[in-house]
Amino acid sequence: MARLDTRQQILDLAEDLIRSKGYNSFSYHEISHRLGVKNAAVHYHFPTKEVLGLEVIRSAIQRFKDFKEETASLSLEEQLDAFIQTYSINSENDKVCLVGAISVEFYGLPENMTNVMKGLTRLIHDWVTNLLAMGKAEGMFAFDMKPETKATMIITNLAAGVQIARLMGNETFSDLIKGIKTDLGLNK
Amino acid sequence: MARLDTRQQILDLAEDLIRSKGYNSFSYHEISHRLGVKNAAVHYHFPTKEVLGLEVIRSAIQRFKDFKEETASLSLEEQLDAFIQTYSINSENDKVCLVGAISVEFYGLPENMTNVMKGLTRLIHDWVTNLLAMGKAEGMFAFDMKPETKATMIITNLAAGVQIARLMGNETFSDLIKGIKTDLGLNK
DNA sequence: TTGTAAACTTACTAATTAGTAAGTAAGTTT
DNA sequence: AAACTTACTTACTAATTAGTAAGTTTACAA
């Protein structure tokens, strides 16, 4: 009867819940109930909620590293499109990104979680910065500021884009994507 | 002994808490304890947490309407600066904006709250759109897309800017402001 | 086949949560 | 001065929370 993937199902559901309503808005009971197991089964795999939260972030870090590898051989514009597409999928599924979810609840979360999250944020920001710097050198992307600044602008557009889509509708998000591309001199 | 401003203090603290750690991360006990009153005093002024949450959003709506009136006589660039400055203050105080706070916890909040919040979001978006449209017509702001789209871009920059500042530091936010202005053709 | 470990369940506990009912003290109105 | 209202406190309750200790079942190895 032992489901070997229970641990993974808990992890996936926890990430979904964090990105649907926030870390402090779901309970171990909700996870166990929805997976058809008992409360203590969740504690067996993740002894405390903080450990569960940390594992969600760590698995997101691994996922982003995989994303980097998988897209490394694509053209710079395709890499940017792949990055943007992960947010489009979020928007369609009504999920915000982890950066948004964790930063908004920041002072209500265990410090360990926010510290590990800082690492993921840097990782993403460095990757986008690099992509933009190379793309500008190549003449692929056009912008008139430091690549770090433009990276912050694009990441904030995407992060809050999926948030505001919850309040204004999904067209707002797809419209926003067009704006990002226009400002980069794509979409001609 | 009756403090006439207890109601207002509760309201202010509740907004602070929502924007520090989120609606589901604070309790009536935390409010009453920090204000030196009893739990039931908070329930006297705001019978349920939902009512308290709604009043926080309603007072933010009123504050934005006041902001509109107060800045109506300023130049368009000054109005934009005043708008941006409210976010700079948030960033310095480590507070996210209500749009971000409510949208991230969206599916963990009473529907009444999210519905009222949609109104505030529209109000802000319409105002920024109008400001940009007028500024473009005047030749004050330069951008190459619909004013609604540019409004979404700027609002998402600011909303997630204060969020990401928690994870990457406040310089990230001030740098972002420069980027916004550069893209509008200001900052020459 | 016996032993061991992984993956649970059963059955709790202590703390925290939002919310309430009944009382009280200090103004305010009539 | 009596009646009423505002702004609370005291003293609760029922539900939910994260977390635990002690079993039980299943698979797999020695």
Q: For residue range A43-72, what is the model confidence (pLDDT) as tens digits?
A: 999 999 999 999 999 999 999 999 999 999
Task: Tell whether A176 is within 8 A of chain B (Cβ).
Answer: yes
Any idea which residue has 């808005």 for tokens? A25
| Nearest CA-CA partner of A176 in A121, B19, A126, A162 | A162
Task: Please give the C-alpha separations between residue B26 and each of A2, A108, B7, B32, B155, in angstroms, as whole numbers.
Answer: 38, 8, 17, 11, 27
Say what angle helices B147-168 and A147-168 make with each other, to 10 degrees: 110
**What average pLDDT score do residues A28-56 get?**
97
**Mean pLDDT of the A136-142 span:** 96
pLDDT of residue B1: 37
- Is residue B2 scored above 50 in pLDDT? no
Cβ contacts (< 8 Å) between A167 and chain B: which residues?
A: 99, 102-103, 106, 114, 117-118, 121
B62-113 pLDDT, tens digit per residue, is 999 999 999 999 999 999 999 999 999 999 999 999 999 999 999 999 999 9
User: Would the pLDDT of B169 be above 80?
Assistant: yes
Look at the block and give the residue holding tokens 């067209």.
A171
Tokens found for residue B125 = 């978006």
Query: CA-CA distance, B124 to B100, in Å (whole number)?
Result: 13
Cα–Cα distances in angstroms (integers) from residue A173 to residues A26, A34, A161, A179, B148, in the given order? 27, 30, 6, 10, 12
Interface with A, mutate which of B15, B117, B122, B153 (most A CBs under 10 A): B153
pLDDT of residue B188: 55
- Phi/psi of residue A33, each to 5°? -60, -45
- What was the pLDDT predicted at A17? 98
**Model confidence pTM above 0.75:** yes
A164 and B CB contact within 8 Å: yes
User: Nearest CA to A86 among A31, A130, A149, A128?
Assistant: A128
Distance (Å, whole) CA A66 – CA B80: 41
pLDDT above 70: residue A159:
yes
Considering all nucleic acid strands, name the nucleotide whose C1' atom is nearest to the C-alpha of residue B47. C19
The tokens describing A9, both together, are 């199902």
Across the range A62-84, mean pLDDT stands at: 98
Six-digit token pair at B124?
């802000």
3-state secondary structure of B91: helix
Q: Spell out which residues of chain B touch residue A175, defining contact as CB-CB under 8 Å.
A: 146, 148-149, 152
Using 50, 70 and 90 to split pLDDT, how confident is the model at B187?
A: confident
CB B162 within 8 A of CB B90: yes
Residue A182 burial (C-beta neighbours within 10 Å; 0-12, 13-18, 19+): middle
Q: How far apart are the first and last CA of chain B?
A: 58
pLDDT at site A4: 55
Pairwise CA distance, residues B6 & B30, whole Å: 15
* Amino acid at the residue B36: G
Mean pLDDT, residues A24-49 taken together: 97
Residue A31 CA, nucleotide D21 C1', distance (Å): 22
Answer yes or no: do A163 and B167 touch at CB < 8 A.
Answer: no
Structure tokens at B73: 């006589």
The whole-chain average pLDDT of chain A stands at 96
Q: CA dist A48 to A16, A42, A52, A102, Å?
A: 18, 9, 7, 18
A92 Cβ contact partners less than 8 Å away, ≥ 6 residues apart: A170
For the stretch B109-156, pLDDT in tens is 999 999 999 999 999 999 999 999 999 999 999 999 999 999 999 999
Q: Give yes or no for A26 touching B (CB within 8 A).
A: yes
